[in-house]
Amino acid sequence: MKRLQILITLAVSVLLAVGGYFVPAAPAATMGPVTDSIGVVKVSKGQPITIAYWLVITGPNGNLGIDSRNGIEIAIDDQKAVLGFPIKLIGEDTGCNAEGGTTAATKLAANNQLVAAVGSTCSSEARPGAPILWKAGIATVSPANTAPDLTDPKRSADYNGYLRTAHNDLVQGAVGATFVRTVLKLSKVATIHDGSPYAEGLANAFAASFKKQGGTITAAEAVNVGDTDMRPVLTKIAATKPELIYFPIFVAEGGFIARQSKEVSGLANVKLMGADGLFDPNFLKAAGDAATGMYQSSPDTRTEVLGSIYTVFLQKYEKKYGTKPLSIFHAHAYDATNLILQAIQKVGKTDAAGNLYIGRKALRDALFATKGWKGVTGTLTCNPYGDCADPHLAVYQITAGDPSKWDPGVTNPKPIYPVVK
C-alpha cells in the first residue's frame, strides 16, 4: 500500500509540475516606456519583429495555406520594416485538423518574442488554436477561416484575440443559395458536410438561406474526413432525387464525391457545387474530368469588384512565385499581415537606447479598432467579435478538369455570378 501512495504522490507532483509549466505567464507588465495589462514584447535594437503564420502548407489541402503564405510574404516585402525594425516571419504547419491547430498554436505560444500571428487556414484548427495563442497574449488574424461560430457574438472570451479578414460563411452560404435558386432556378438540393466546423457551418448556412428562398433540402448528409468510399452516401442521396449536390468540404473527400457521383445511378446529370475549400488546382487533380461544369462559391477577385489595387498585387504574386494563385486567400492574407503591421506601427514605442516595446493588449485593441481601412480585399472594418472582412463573393464554374489549365478568376474556374458590368 505504501508503494502505491508514493507512486500516487509522485504522479500528482509530476502532473502539477508539468501543468505549472504550461500555465501561461502573461501577467501585467511594465517594460521600458510601455505598461500593458497582458504583457509586453521587447525587441532589442537591431533585432527583427517576429510574426508567425500558422497555416496548412502540406498534405492534400497544402495549396490553401501556401497561397496565403505567399500573400504574407508579399506584404512583408512591401513593408520591409516597421518603425525601423525588420520583420521576421516564422511559421507552423497546421494540417487542416484540430490536432494540427493545437500543436502549431502551442509551439507558437511558447515563443515570447512572437508579436502576432496570421492564421489559421481551416476553421477546425482555429477553434482549439486561437484560445491557446490568446492565453499567451498573442493576437491572430485569420485570412481563411470562415466558420460562423468563430466570430459569433456569443463566442467565449478565449477568442478575444481572434480576428479574420476572410468572409463569414453566413454570407457565403447565402450567396450560394441565391445563385442556385435564382440563376440555376433549382429547388431541390442535397448537402454533404464532413463534420468540420467549416463544412458543417457552411452547409447549414446554405440550407437555411435556400429554404428561406423556397427551396427544399432533400438530404443533409455527412461523411468523415479520410473517407474514400462515398458511393453508399451518394446512393442514399440519389434516392431523394436532388437536382444539385452541395458539398462545401475539402480537396481529398471532395474529389472522391465528384468522381464517384458520376458513377452512381441517378446522379450522372445532377449538378455539383462546392465552396472555397475546393478552390484549388489539387481539386482538379483529385476529381479529374468529373470537376468540369461544377460550381464553386469563393471570394470575388475580379478587377471590376476589387479595383486595380488587386491587379497590381496579382502582378507581384505572379512575378515572385511564377505561378497563378494556388487558391483564393492570398489577398486576405496580404491584408491580414498589413493590418498587423500597421497596428504594430501604432502601438510600438522605442526607448532612448533604441529598443522597441509592443504592448500585447494595446496591439489587440488596435487591431479591433480597425475602421474603414483600405485593403486589397475591400474596405475593412472590424466588429467587436473579430469580423473584419468586406465580403465580396462570387460563384465560379470549372471549365476544364485539367490542373494545368488552372487560371482562377479568368477562365478556369470562371466567375459567372454575380454579373458585373
Partner 1 sequence: MGRTFWQRFSLISLFLWAFRITVVLVVVVGTYGTLSSGKYGPAQWIDIVIFGLSQGSIYALIALGYTMVYGILRMINFAHGEVFMSGAYTAYFAAAALNGFGFLARHPFLGLLIVLVVAMATATGVGLLVERIAYRPLRRAPRLVPLIAAIGASFFLQYTFRGFFGAGFQAYPDWPLFKGQMVVAGIGILRTQAVAIVGAVFLMVALYLFVMRTKIGTAMRAVSEDMEVAAMMGINVDRVIVVTFGVGAAAAGAAGVLYALVFKQVWFFMGFVPGIKAFTSAVLGGIGNIPGAMVGGLFLGLIESAGPILFLDGLGIPAPNQLKDVFAFTMLVLVLIFRPTGILGERLAAKKA
CB of 331: closest distance to partner 1 in angstroms?
A: 24
By beta-carbon proximity to partner 1, the closer residue of 50 and 327 is: 327
Helices 62-79 and 330-347, packing angle to 10 deg: 40
Question: In whole angstroms, what is the distance from residue 332 CA to residue 330 CA?
Answer: 5
Question: In whole angstroms, what is the distance from residue 346 CA to residue 338 CA?
Answer: 12
CB contact set of 125 (below 8 Å; sequence gap of 6+): 54, 56, 94, 95, 96, 97, 98, 100, 101, 104, 119, 145
By beta-carbon proximity to partner 1, the closer residue of 78 and 229 is: 229
Report the chain's C-alpha Rg in angstroms: 23
282 binds partner 1 (CB under 8 A): yes
CB contact at 8 A, 113 and 41: yes
By beta-carbon proximity to partner 1, the closer residue of 116 and 291 is: 291
What's the DSSP call for residue 265?
A: T
- Touching partner 1, residues 43-102 (CB under 8 A): 58-60, 62
Binding mask 242-281 for partner 1 (x = CB under 8 A): ----------x--xx--x---xxx----------------
CB of 90: closest distance to partner 1 in angstroms?
A: 20
Pick from 107, 155, 188, 231 the residue near partner 1 by CB under 8 A. 231
404 binds partner 1 (CB under 8 A): no
CB of 101: closest distance to partner 1 in angstroms?
A: 17
CB contact set of 338 (below 8 Å; sequence gap of 6+): 75, 78, 79, 375
CB of 139: closest distance to partner 1 in angstroms?
A: 29
CB of 115: closest distance to partner 1 in angstroms?
A: 29
Residue 240 has φ and ψ, to the nearest 5°, of: -95, 0
Q: Which residue from 147, 143, 61, 153 is spatially nearest to 340, judged by alpha carbons?
A: 143
By beta-carbon proximity to partner 1, the closer residue of 156 and 265 is: 265
235 binds partner 1 (CB under 8 A): yes
Binding mask 159-198 for partner 1 (x = CB under 8 A): ------------------------------------x---
CB contact at 8 A, 245 and 270: yes
Return the range that interacts with partner 1 (CB under 8 A); candidates 22-30, 98-106, 152-160, 218-226: 218-226
226 binds partner 1 (CB under 8 A): yes
Provide DSSP, 172-232. HHHHHHHIIIIIS---EEEEEE-SSHHHHHHHHHHHHHHHHTT-EEEEEEE--TT----HH
By beta-carbon proximity to partner 1, the closer residue of 264 and 336 is: 264
What's at 236, amino acid-wise? K
Q: Which residue from 153, 189, 190 is spatially nearest to 170, judged by alpha carbons?
A: 153
147 binds partner 1 (CB under 8 A): no
Instruction: Kindly list the residues in this chain that would bind partner 1 in the complex (CB under 8 A).
Output: 58-60, 62, 195, 220-224, 226, 228-229, 231-233, 235-236, 238-240, 252, 255-256, 259, 263-265, 282, 285-286, 288
